[in-house]
Amino acid sequence: MYTITAKVIGFHKILISTNNLKNFNMNKLIIKNGANTLHINNYTTTTENSILVFIKEEINIKYYSFVIYDCIKIKALYKDLFLTSEFNDKFYYDGKLGLIYTKKTSTFKLWSPAASSVDLLLYKNGDPTITEPPLKFKMTEKNGLWTITINKNLKNYFYTYKVTTYNYNQEAIDPYATAVGINGLRAAIIDLKETNPHNFKNDYTPKTKHNTDAIIYELNIRDISMHESSGVIQKGKFLALTEDNTSSKKNVLTCLSHIKDLGVTHVQLMPCFDFSSISIDEKNAKDYNWGYDPENYNVPEGSFSLNPYDPKCRILEIKKMIQHLHSENICVNMDVVYNHIFHKTQNNFEKIFPGYYFRLDNFGDFSNGSGCGNDTASEHKMMRKFILDSVLYWAEEYHIDGFRFDLMGIHDVNTMNSIYDTFKNLNKNIMLYGEGWNLNTALDDSLRATQKNAKEMPNISFFNDIIRDTIKGNVFSKLDKGFVSGKQNLENKIKSCITGCTISNATCNSIYVSPEQSINYVSCHDNHTLWDKFELSNNTDTLEDKKNMVKLSNAIVLTSQGIPFLHSGVEFCRTKYCIENSFKSPDIINSLDYDRKFEFLDVYEYCKGLIKIRKKHPAFRMYSTEDIKLHLNFIQNTPKNTVAFLLKDNANGDSWENILVIYNANRYSVTLEVPNITWYKVVNKYHANTKPIETVTSDKIEVESLCMNMFYST
């Protein structure tokens, strides 16, 4: 029994692999391109099981190609052809795609070398459930680019494309759409200038000199204001983050006022692009979903808008939110999900050019490293261009300050470096970071944008799962413990984390070239909240001990070199009632309960004090590995489960000459030998601030159980 695979690797070349090459009879081989039989010029054996066949005619990718042998018919895949310079020289388009609107003309550009015909469909209504025959216009093609110009003012019309590929007609939305109707099912034609809030062109983007100056606070647009305790009027909407002076009935600050008071520098918005209406119906947004199932990448999500039927409304409102956050000196980072799309076949990319935008295995099946049924093929130049164009659009049109790439390890190294280079060439200081997990996608390991390849992407930052799991225990085991929750012999791992995993020690190898690559975190929207993790792994501990574990966890994140990241609510022991992944759970599980902030106000004030210290003292924000080597020394011969270090010699220009930090994860106090000088204590078990609470002159310091202490000398 023969097994055969075939892939087109050039317009005149097909590579055929078989399990029985010895008995393979080339006279029986038939190659079809659509209805046409292709003629074989010659062939050569390349490996013990592969033949490279040279074709006389040029293969036309508007038709599928098949290899037929002894009644076996196998599709010859185009996926390898798409990587060739031969394909890109013929079809790559470097210009502007999508709609180019003026009051006199509208030009539409769609890229699809596979399409045999494309029609522009114009509608007066943005809701496909309302019956309406569209106006139809035939588009013309040149080298895979389909275009048409309509010489009239089309403002307030809606449009889609009717695309015919491989004898199959489908209606698709423009992937480059910048406005949509209800549920994102038709693109909208608007004048984007009309979506700018007053004085938006002068919107001031707060600047951080180095990424290590940032303190990132992850939030969900819906969660931050939806709870009844928020005191917010526009609950669950973009505009909630424009409401000032909000508080709960128990008189604690909420929503934007809470974020300002906490003192973080950046908010990271969980998905707020237009995600699938299967997740949340914008007509009745009663269901809950995080939104990691993209539909229209360049449009804000309508369920966060007051009027999702009006294409301009959602755009205006998110811009107002961004402008308001900027006015409060808070940068805005965006969680982007370019690694997969909501459905592997019923999506606009696949409708427009089947097999191009997604990564396929050698059998033509969708790669599924994302776990969502598909992986986008960022290594294909036009997919890479789309990602580049999209992030650039959000940065320029919406003034977004940074991008967090969901499952960044699905993407390739070149794409991530190209994004950085694009912004650098435009002189834009944009934060770029993501999840560098090594996932089982159909891309060579060496090409993946993973932590393992961090040295190939020196300007990209990575979520540091080493610090996460070392502090609290493995996220995939609810009972596993970490340094603060009682596991032994983790001192060297904690020391590595303190350096931003930039310096190797006896048990840990460095993984980053600089601390700017390390996103230090202990919890995020995924997996259990920090509090819930301790509820499960330390269920016999007292309430006070668990509070102290939260304090110490946040203290390690905020005093380690790198970029600290806080999950919203971690500062007041947020719970999701031990639901591990709450992406479909109701608001009562996901929304921030500010009455809980009142209950854990001491934890909140402690975290707020640590943030104040970090912002005021650049010793915690070194951006060079060499500086860390020069200015960070670990105290030797400390008690077990205790780590102490010195930031010396006015590190990074700090006003404090020396800073002593001690983490004690024991359930009892410990005594350490330290340099015998005058120390000013600013952090103990209960208090964190920049002003001294005690003066100590001794070569020995006692540290209370389960806490951090911080001292400085001048």
Q: What digits encode the pLDDT tens for the residues 79-98? A: 999 999 999 999 999 999 99
For residue 407, give the 3-state DSSP assignment: coil
Catalytic residue among 80, 406, 532, 593: 406
For residue 626, give every residue at least 6 positions away whose Cβ sits within 8 Å of its Cβ, in sequence order, or none: none
Partner residues linked to 162 by β-bridges: 119, 171
For residue 664, give the 3-state DSSP assignment: strand
pLDDT tens per residue across span 206-225:
888 999 999 999 999 999 99
pLDDT tens per residue across span 580-604:
999 999 999 999 999 999 999 999 9
398 close to 473: Cβ distance less than 8 angstroms: no
In the chain, the amino acid numbered 313 is C
The dihedral through the CA atoms of 185, 187, 191, 196 has a sign that is positive
205, pLDDT greater than 90: no
pLDDT tens per residue across span 675-711:
999 999 999 999 999 999 999 999 999 999 999 999 9
pLDDT tens per residue across span 311-321:
999 999 999 99
pLDDT tens per residue across span 253-267:
999 999 999 999 999
Closest CA to 214 of 442, 68, 456, 430: 430
**Which residue, chain included where needed, has tokens 């340094």?**
483
Main-chain dihedrals φ then ψ at residue 427, nearest 5 degrees: 60, 40
Provide, rounded to the nearest whole percent, the portion of the chain with pLDDT above 70: 100
Angle at Cα 352 formed by Cα 84 and Cα 406, nearest 5°?
75
pLDDT for the residue numbered 320: 98
pLDDT for the residue numbered 112: 98
Domains of the chain: 4-77 (2.60.40.1220), 88-172 (2.60.40.10), 338-457 (no CATH), 630-713 (2.60.40.1180)
Rounded CA separation 108/548 (Å):
59
Main-chain dihedrals φ then ψ at residue 10, nearest 5 degrees: -170, 165
Catalytic residue among 335, 350, 435, 571: 435
Structure tokens at 272: 């707020």
Partner residues linked to 8 by β-bridges: 14
Rounded CA separation 8/299 (Å):
36
For residue 451, give every residue at least 6 positions away whose Cβ sits within 8 Å of its Cβ, in sequence order, or none: 409, 436, 437, 438, 462, 465, 511
Rounded CA separation 67/14 (Å):
9
pLDDT for the residue numbered 71: 86
In the chain, the amino acid numbered 358 is F
pLDDT for the residue numbered 1: 66
Rounded CA separation 137/227 (Å):
48
Q: Give catalytic status of residue 435 as yes or no.
A: yes
Rounded CA separation 226/470 (Å):
33
pLDDT tens per residue across span 18-58:
998 888 999 999 999 999 999 999 999 988 899 999 999 99
pLDDT tens per residue across span 417-450:
999 999 999 988 899 999 999 999 999 999 999 9
Q: Give catalytic status of residue 171 as yes or no.
A: no
Closest CA to 117 of 82, 177, 169, 158: 169
636 close to 622: Cβ distance less than 8 angstroms: no
Q: How many CA atoms lie within 13 A of 274 on its CB side?
A: 27
Closest CA to 225 of 501, 590, 685: 590
Range 347-359 average pLDDT = 97
2, pLDDT greater than 80: no
pLDDT tens per residue across span 152-189:
999 999 999 999 999 999 999 999 999 999 999 999 99
pLDDT tens per residue across span 368-390:
999 999 999 999 999 999 999 99
pLDDT tens per residue across span 621-632:
999 999 999 999
Q: Kindly report the three-state secondary structure assignment for every residue of 561-622.
A: CCEEEEECCHHHCCCCCCCCCCCCCCHHHHCCCHHHHHHCHHHHHHHHHHHHHHHHCHHHHC
295 close to 275: Cβ distance less than 8 angstroms: yes
As a dihedral over the C-alpha atoms of residue 279, residue 280, residue 281, residue 286, rounded to 10 degrees, the angle is: 130
450 close to 411: Cβ distance less than 8 angstroms: no
**Burial (Cβ within 10 Å: 0-12, 13-18, ≥19) of residue 35:** exposed
470 close to 501: Cβ distance less than 8 angstroms: no
Rounded CA separation 519/303 (Å):
30
Structure tokens at 396: 């320029």
Rounded CA separation 181/187 (Å):
6
Measured CA distances, 434 to 251, 407, 459, 460, 546 (Å)? 36, 7, 12, 8, 29
pLDDT for the residue numbered 531: 98
Range 230-244 average pLDDT = 98
Provide, rounded to the nearest whole percent, the portion of the chain with pLDDT above 90: 96
